[in-house]
Structure 1
Amino acid sequence: MHIEILVEDQSGEKLLETLLPQLLGSQGEPHTWRLFAYKGIGRIPQGLSTKGDPSKRILLDQLPKLLRGYGKTPGIDAVVVILDVDKRNCIEFLHELQVVTESCHPHAPKTLFRLAIEEMEAWYLGDQQALMEAYPRAKRKVLDSYIQDSTCGTWELLADAIYPGGSAAIKKAGWPLPGQVKYGWAEKIGPLMDPEQNTSPSFCKLRDGLRRLVASAS
């Protein structure tokens, strides 16, 4: 099976580069995949008519066009789209995404949507053994205050636990520091993560969904 995997930013891409071999097996043995990082999540266009500038690489802006293209492309067995839910209603957001897929009939690709609740940083917080190994001086009190997969300003909480000056320092510095910091977390924590022990429900849905997807090709 060959899978195209779309994520909304480079930090997500970096994390998945590390985790996918643990979830799917080594590249080409027997499954293959390609990862594509976009430069933000954007929004599903009204009427599902893609009018945004493709050079800006905003994921949801381009999603209807992308799925229609994949559905017509030989050799692509499935598409996986991984997004932060942020402050959205999870059920409503998934329904909106499914409508995009249905709009591609009769050329809709097999598509799996997976949402990080609230943000992908929840997945690091779901493996606190890996997090503490990467950042031994992390503030335990801040980590202990976290309720897994809650809507609480997830990346800010993680920053408050491990970044000098916390999230306030990152926000004060402004762009591109937030993206650089998140990429660094993926580099440091990702290789230490154990997908089997992760306590994040949204990560477990990604893990199990990917495994069911490739099992369906057997």
Structure 2
Amino acid sequence: MNLVFMLEEPSMKHFLAGFMSRIVPEHFTVTYLVHEGKQDLEKSIPRKIRGWQVPNSCFIVIRDKDGEDPIILKNRLRALCAERPETLVRIPVHHLESWILGDMQALATAFNRPNLAAMSGNRKFRNPDLLANASEELSRLVPGYQKVGGARTVAPHIDFERNLSRSFNLLISDLKRLAAAGAA
């Protein structure tokens, strides 16, 4: 099976690539189609889905919410995927940084800042999907944090069971389901 991720930006690719081998079997191939922002992603979805020639492929579209109504956004993205209705559409509620803040222990380990681990008990980090300013919070907690490098650094430390982001857990659940179906 080939998993084809259609992504809004490079940081998401580095984040996913950092832990994908822990989810999908070795015989899977994983392709990351990285775009230059949400408009580029949305414009290319129908064309890339229509032109994709690799058999046994499953598309997974991941796009940040960016202040939009998530239901309207998801429906719009699904409409763009009409030629492949089995395409998974996942919205990190707000930004990728919400998924990273969902596992404060991973953040603490990745950046050698042990004090961050205890912060997962703080009220505002118990449900990172509610953080409208996840990027700013992450920059405050890890001064000098860079999106691509940070995603690459944190990803290997992400614990799927420990992560508190509901939207991240939905993606992981979908990927595990696909992995189980493809392994059978």
Residue number among 41, 44, 50 corresponding to 1:62 in the alignment: 44
Structure 1 pair 94/66, CA: closer, same or farther in 2 (3 Å)?
same
Asked if 1:135 is matched to 2:111, the reply is yes
> Which residue of the partner structure matches residue 155 of structure 1?
135
The aligned residue for residue 101 of structure 2 is 125
Which residue pairs with 1:39 in the alignment? 36
- Paired with 2:90 and 2:115, the residues of 1 have a C-alpha distance of 30
Aligned to 1:21: 21
The equivalent of 1:171 in structure 2 is none
Aligned equivalent of 1:89, options 63, 69, 81: 69
Taking the aligned partners of 2:56 and 2:133, their CA distance within structure 1 comes to 36
1:100 corresponds to 2:80: yes
CA offset digits 1:51-85 (Å, max 9, x no partner): xxxxxxx2112112112222xx2424211111111
TM-score by length of 1: 0.74
Q: What 5-or-longer segments of structure 1 have no aligned partner?
A: 43-57, 165-179
Task: Give yes or no for the alignment of 1:187 onto 2:152.
Answer: yes
Between stretches 112-121 and 191-200, larger displacement belongs to 191-200
Alpha-carbon distance in structure 1 between the residues aligned to 2:54 and 2:14: 27
How far residue 12 of structure 1 moved from its aligned partner, in angstroms, is 0.8
Partner of 1:110: 86
Larger Rg belongs to: 1
Residue 63 of structure 1 aligns to a residue whose secondary structure is helix
Tell me how far 1:205 sits from its aligned partner.
0.5
TM-aligned CA distance change 1:4 to 1:134, over 3 Å: same
Q: Secondary structure at the match of 2:132?
A: coil
Q: Is the Cα contact below 8 Å between 1:2 and 1:76 reproduced in 2?
A: yes
Determine if contact 2:45/2:81 at 8 Å carries over to the other structure.
no
Counting aligned pairs with the same residue, the percent is 27
CA contact (8 A) 1:2 1:31 kept: yes
One-letter amino acid of the counterpart of residue 31, structure 1:
F
Match of 2:165 in 1: 200
